[in-house]
Amino acid sequence: MKKLEETLDIREISLHRRDDCKNYDRCLNEASAKRWRSFSCLDCERFEREVQLVPRLRRASTLAW
């Protein structure tokens, strides 16, 4: 996470933030506690993609027929 001196424009947020990172909430809280104007996730060493499990549909069993 890198401190930014200027507030990001709403159109810039998706360029600077990695909200799919499992550390995102922690960084957001940290930046807020430090009263930073804004922050960027670009080149962050702590980036770790959030694993989202997608449920698979079960095939109907032929055993019940």
- 35 — pLDDT class (breaks 50, 70, 90): very high
| Residue 6 is assigned to a structural domain of this protein | yes
**Mean pLDDT to the nearest integer, 23-30:** 93
User: Per-residue pLDDT averaged across 19-30, rounded?
Assistant: 91
Rounded to 5, what percent of the chain is helix, strand, coil?
25, 10, 60
Q: What is the pLDDT of residue 10?
A: 92
- Number of folded domains in the chain? 1
Q: Please state, in angstroms and rounded to a whole number, the distance separating the CA atoms of residues 47 and 22.
A: 8
Q: 36 vs 50, which has greater pLDDT?
A: 36
Q: What is the mean pLDDT of the chain?
A: 84
Statement: residue 5 has pLDDT above 70: yes
What is the residue range of 31's domain?
2-49
Residue 54 pLDDT > 80: no
Residue 30 placed within a domain:
yes
Residue 58 within any structural domain of the chain: no
